[in-house]
Structure 1
Amino acid sequence: MDSDLSPQGGIWWPEREDLSLEFMRLLASVQEGGATFSECWLTASRIDFAGDDGDDSWHREWIGAAEVNRERASSAAAQGHLATARSNWLRAINYYLTAAYPFDLSPDKRRSATASMRECAAKYLNCREPVGEVVSIPWLNEFTLQGYYLPARRGGDRAPVVICIGEPGHHKEEFLFKLAHHASERGMALLAVDVLGDGTGQSFEEVSLRHKPQRAIAPIMDYLVGRDDVDERRIAILADGWSSSFVARGIAFDHRFAAAVCDGGIWDLHIGSFLNPQDRPFGIESCPELEADRILRSIRCPLLIAASERGGLRADRVAELTDQLRAGRRDRDITLEIFESAETAAGQGLFDNPTLANECILDWIASRIAAQPL
């Protein structure tokens, strides 16, 4: 296998930029307990991109790594070594996620890897302390959302909660190693959820043709408000990823949130500025830039915009759009945090150093919803 270093310091297989970036995400997850460095390198060394079966080779090797960790976890659990079982379940989850990554992978192989990943997630929740839950959240008649609820360690009182939700196409299982311990250490429960459904009905791709993902936000909040262990006045939401503003659109007119970490709608505002020429022949109601501006100005809760210097938008553009959001509303609690290359966490979606980003983000959330560290 030929590899090299990219100019940004990433491992680079020239013929597979997509998988090179996925491998870097995997390496970055080591510090969060989502992988081990040696396993990653050993598995990568076995992948053969020569010929026409590069994706299959990638899938096969990461499935093998996942199975080893899955078996190790089962053995440890059977012997009562729950800490070892938990750490191996988390690594198995991440390796299955990586195995399912190639875009051209056959649907059957992707479904099988995803099913195995979810099985490992359920077993991890079952041996966690306190025990977590696999939950179903009604959304559409034909499409139910699946989530993982991890209670706060401190029992008795209703707890503050952070909802962690990824962009469409991202799996909630990643939050189990990426964000769960950060929330737990700060006295917060966590609900990890995605918009991919429970796997028993229609696919997200089919549903998204007729329904907008931002409409899933209200039912998620409804679910939490209905729990007797949740403090409904202290629910925050964290949008992971920066390829759309669907979370910002979802919370714009739902004022039950105590805090939010998302792009605040500035991605929509940025796109709208290019799609709305000055001589647009339509009425003001059809102006996408003004619609985006209306949405982001409707967000009432404290807002953190966490961006990266090398993300999809230049840092100066993010700052410019954030200033537009603040204009005329000096009373609003809007924080902009741009992670620079000098300190890492500067890649798209902050993927290159999730620890640095998550510490900052969860500290901000805890300060806004008055969560108490353990």
Structure 2
Amino acid sequence: MASRIDPHDRADSWHREWLRIADLNAARADAALAGGHAITARSNWLRAINYYQAATFVLDSTDARQQRAIESMRACARRYVAQVTPAGETVEIPWLQNHPLEGYFVPAPPTSGRTPVVVCIGDPGHRKEEYLFKVARYARERGMALLAVDLLGSGTDADFEAIVGRRDLESSISYVMNYLRTRDDVDERRIAIVGDGAGSSFAARGIALDNRFAAAVCDGGLWDIHEREFLTNRFAPAGGGIEESWPGLRFHCPVLITVGGQGWLKSDVVTDLFERLKSRHRDISLKIFDSSETAAAQAHHDNPTLANEFIFDWVADRLDRVPA
């Protein structure tokens, strides 16, 4: 496939070739399901989701081809969720007027009673479909349901700038919690959240304002604090530190911060910010993946498996400690 991508026509050929392989996997999945092979169908739908997403990377959000690829990706995601056991569902969660959140709820493996659940939400540019192939299995293998949700709503042409520019993105976190507490298959005492991406500070702000989560994995607000301190030092050198950077910061549950040692924020900067956070919140942990163990790139792109195993083991351990 890579040999067919023309460097002189990168946008068109990149999209065309990734779309072609995505369509092949989607068709293979549909054929497998028709033949009674649901496991093979699910695997191919997950691959198709990944490839459809790759096909959109070089396209502008106004490009009709991007919208068609996203529609195909969403169709594969819905088919996958409907074919897990027990069957999952596409859910709508009230948030802003005329802009509800949309999520995929993937139940835990068959069991009796209510189960713990992990919410996976990314920064404003991340689509929820990617969490089906990135992390769904790590949750299910540990007996946890997954709610994959994003901020983009149910359409393919959401006004991205209007959403990403809002000052109250963290309000979405409580709406997600409100929804989960209405479900009779969720243990409301054992709900964790994983905020993915460099923009996950909004998730940290959300859990600081909501004391109902049992555990959280996010950047702990490091990116917010780093940016605000940069502006403070640039425009008001005599300004304050963490108190002014994020007033009223209080976490009510255990928090894990994971970063790659080769990521955007240098390890010494991360460590300094973490130590100051820890002085205010004792049940907060930091894991820096260095180059020798991999998962050291930004967002752990060089070895996401290693990072996800660590993250979901930590989440499972914390949820297991919640009294019955």
* Range into which the TM-score falls when normalised by the shorter chain: over 0.9
Answer yes or no: is 1:348 the counterpart of 2:298: yes
Checking the alignment, whether the CA contact within 8 Å between 2:215 and 2:319 is kept in structure 1 is: yes
Stretches of structure 2 that go unaligned for 5 or more consecutive residues are none
Checking the alignment, whether the CA contact within 8 Å between 1:55 and 1:104 is kept in structure 2 is: no
Stretches of structure 1 that go unaligned for 5 or more consecutive residues are 1-42
In 2 relative to 1, CA 324–371 (structure 1 residues): closer, same or farther, beyond 3 Å?
A: closer
TM-score, length basis structure 2:
0.93
Distance, in Å, in 2 between the alignment partners of 1:208 and 1:82 is 37
Which residue of structure 1 lines up, in the alignment, with residue 285 of structure 2?
335
Distance, in Å, in 2 between the alignment partners of 1:160 and 1:313 is 32
Answer yes or no: is 1:300 the counterpart of 2:231: no
Q: Return 210-219 or 343-352, whichever deviates more.
A: 210-219
**TM alignment of 1:126-275, pairs within 5 A:** 126-199=82-155, 202-210=158-166, 212-275=168-231
- Secondary structure at the aligned position of 1:311 is classed as coil
Distance, in Å, in 2 between the alignment partners of 1:288 and 1:189 is 39
Task: Read off the aligned partner of 2:250 and give its amino acid letter.
Answer: S
Task: Read off the aligned partner of 1:339 and give its amino acid letter.
Answer: F
RMSD: 2.2
Checking the alignment, whether the CA contact within 8 Å between 1:165 and 1:240 is kept in structure 2 is: yes
Checking the alignment, whether the CA contact within 8 Å between 1:311 and 1:347 is kept in structure 2 is: yes
In 2 relative to 1, CA 293–172 (structure 1 residues): closer, same or farther, beyond 3 Å?
A: same
Answer yes or no: is 1:123 the counterpart of 2:123: no
Distance, in Å, in 2 between the alignment partners of 1:180 and 1:47 is 31
How many residue pairs align between the two structures? Answer: 322
- Secondary structure at the aligned position of 1:307 is classed as strand
Checking the alignment, whether the CA contact within 8 Å between 1:66 and 1:93 is kept in structure 2 is: yes
In 2 relative to 1, CA 259–64 (structure 1 residues): closer, same or farther, beyond 3 Å?
A: same
Distance, in Å, in 2 between the alignment partners of 1:321 and 1:281 is 18
Answer yes or no: is 1:60 the counterpart of 2:19: no
Checking the alignment, whether the CA contact within 8 Å between 1:235 and 1:259 is kept in structure 2 is: yes
Answer yes or no: is 1:97 the counterpart of 2:53: yes
TM-score, length basis structure 1:
0.81
- Secondary structure at the aligned position of 1:263 is classed as coil
Alpha-carbon deviation of 1:211? 5.2
2:274 alignment partner, one of 314, 322, 327? 322
Checking the alignment, whether the CA contact within 8 Å between 1:170 and 1:194 is kept in structure 2 is: yes
- Secondary structure at the aligned position of 1:139 is classed as strand
- Secondary structure at the aligned position of 2:54 is classed as helix
Alpha-carbon deviation of 1:291? 4.2
Which residue of structure 2 lines up, in the alignment, with residue 110 of structure 1?
66
Checking the alignment, whether the CA contact within 8 Å between 1:186 and 1:366 is kept in structure 2 is: yes
Distance, in Å, in 2 between the alignment partners of 1:216 and 1:288 is 27
Answer yes or no: is 1:88 the counterpart of 2:88: no
Distance, in Å, in 1 between the alignment partners of 2:61 and 2:161 is 16
Alpha-carbon deviation of 1:60? 0.4
Which residue of structure 1 lines up, in the alignment, with residue 318 of structure 2?
368
Among the aligned pairs, what percent are the same residue? 52
Deviations for 1:286-317, whole angstroms, at most 9, x for unmatched residues?
Answer: x785344435x411210100011011100111
Distance, in Å, in 1 between the alignment partners of 2:269 and 2:195 is 20
Checking the alignment, whether the CA contact within 8 Å between 1:276 and 1:289 is kept in structure 2 is: no
Distance, in Å, in 1 between the alignment partners of 2:244 and 2:160 is 26
Distance, in Å, in 2 between the alignment partners of 1:278 and 1:204 is 29
Alpha-carbon deviation of 1:210? 4.6
